């Protein structure tokens, strides 16, 4: 049997220090890229560690007991994250999502939330401050997260069936722990809560309808995500993708749905409401229906690399600027320079027949910069 070698760790250390323009310009909040897409959403990975080993994100054959995670000193400090967030907000960012790895593994994460919660937009509006979590620690943390200023959470849950759930996350955390975390988060006011289910054909697609049935009529918004070719570690294949249209069809057979308008420009999920008024679902068609044209998201890795696309092959080292003598104005101008040259649209260019698409390539891992 041929050993499969997957390039993962080296991607973390790509050093591309952003250029600082000679002529510094003050932020206007109207920054756009080459395709006229504004910068509105910043996703910040606060740790590269996770207590799950999901097969589509951090498979055990790569992220085993000997895997070298980043030492704490290389991670952005809470003060550095707060500083860079303020710079991004001046450029128009209105939403901050804390991700990982598993963000609740970052020690004293509540302190960071407190620091971010007091930041306002140039118009004086509070930020939309959210978090994506696997939910395993959420019951213990929900109240302190809410007290710190977190507004809502998105929980990853790929199955209600115990055997399927544990096969996908490859650890012994029971489904009940995640469901309890969702209940507690709702009770303390971290809502509306969204639950994300990554659908992988032949693994958990039989759970589509049971998941919909479980959350129908509840305050939780269930979203189905097409299995994506993020990174190189998950062995992605096109025939394992269940199209969103098929997800909607299966659910509609027993629980009729009707499509509704997006909440805002750039929303990744298409919204579908139950005809009987018992809530809604979302579908994220990351493979079959690209949403690059409205993408207004930037991603910051746990040690300060900026990625302008989920499918990027390299990042831009903002930590190097933060830990030097550069001023906020210089860092702000460097970010503006980067975003103004952005023209990423990987998903639009991807097709079922793209040459080499299913071969491992040097794309950044989802576990590294979050979803």
The torsion of the CA quartet 339, 267, 303, 173, rounded to 10 degrees, works out to -170
Provide the whole-model pTM: 0.88
Give the pLDDT of residue 236: 55
Could you give the strand order of the β-sheet that contains 128-133, starting from the edge strand earlier in sequence? Answer: 257-260, 270-274, 280-284, 221-226, 194-199, 152-156, 128-133, 95-99, 41-45, 297-300, 305-307, 316-317
* Cβ-contact 310, 299 below 8 angstroms: yes
Domains belonging to the chain, first-starting first, are 9-369 (3.20.20.70)
Give the pLDDT of residue 339: 95
Closest by CA position to 292, among listed 307, 311, 316, 279: 311
Residue 58 CA to residue 224 CA, distance in Å, equals 19
* Cβ-contact 370, 132 below 8 angstroms: yes
Residue 308 CA to residue 316 CA, distance in Å, equals 9
pLDDT at 9 exceeding the cut of 80: no
Residue 175 CA to residue 177 CA, distance in Å, equals 5
Give the pLDDT of residue 185: 98
pLDDT tens-digit series, residues 316-352: 999 999 999 999 999 999 999 999 999 877 666 654 4
Give the pLDDT of residue 346: 62
């Amino acid at each position: 049997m041929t050993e499969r070698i997957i390039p993962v760790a080296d991607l973390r250390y790509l050093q591309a220090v952003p250029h600082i323009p000679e002529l510094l310009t003050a932020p206007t909040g109207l920054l756009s890229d080459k395709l006229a897409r504004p910068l509105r959403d910043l996703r910040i990975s606060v740790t590269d560690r996770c207590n799950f080993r999901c097969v589509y994100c951090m498979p055990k054959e790569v992220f085993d007991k000997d895997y070298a995670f980043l030492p704490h000193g290389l991670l952005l400090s809470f003060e550095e994250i707060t500083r860079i967030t303020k710079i991004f907000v001046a450029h128009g960012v209105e939403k901050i999502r804390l991700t990982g790895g598993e963000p609740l593994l970052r020690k004293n994460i509540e302190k960071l939330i407190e620091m971010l919660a007091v930041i306002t937009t140039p118009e004086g509006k509070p930020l939309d401050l959210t978090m994506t979590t696997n939910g395993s620690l959420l019951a213990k943390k929900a109240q302190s997260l809410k007290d710190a200023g977190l507004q809502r959470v998105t929980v990853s849950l790929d199955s209600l069936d115990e055997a399927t759930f544990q096969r996908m996350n490859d650890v012994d955390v029971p489904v009940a722990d995640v469901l309890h975390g969702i209940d507690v988060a709702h009770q303390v006011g971290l809502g509306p809560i969204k639950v994300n289910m990554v659908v992988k054909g032949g693994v958990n697609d039989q759970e589509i309808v049971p998941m919909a049935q479980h959350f129908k009529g509840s305050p939780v918004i269930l979203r189905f995500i097409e299995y994506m070719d993020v990174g190189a570690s998950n062995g992605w294949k096109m025939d394992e993708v269940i199209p969103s249209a098929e997800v909607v069809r299966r659910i509609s057979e027993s629980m009729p749905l009707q499509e509704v308008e997006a909440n805002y420009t750039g929303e990744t999920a298409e919204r579908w409401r139950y005809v009987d008024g018992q809530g809604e679902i979302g579908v994220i068609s990351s493979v079959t229906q690209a949403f690059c044209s409205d993408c207004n998201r930037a991603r910051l890795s746990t040690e300060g690399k900026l990625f302008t696309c989920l499918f990027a092959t390299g990042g831009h080292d903002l930590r190097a600027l933060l830990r030097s003598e550069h001023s906020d104005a210089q860092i702000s101008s460097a970010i503006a320079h980067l975003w103004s040259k952005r023209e990423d649209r990987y998903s639009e260019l991807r097709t079922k027949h793209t040459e080499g698409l299913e071969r491992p390539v040097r794309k950044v891992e989802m576990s590294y910069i979050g979803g």
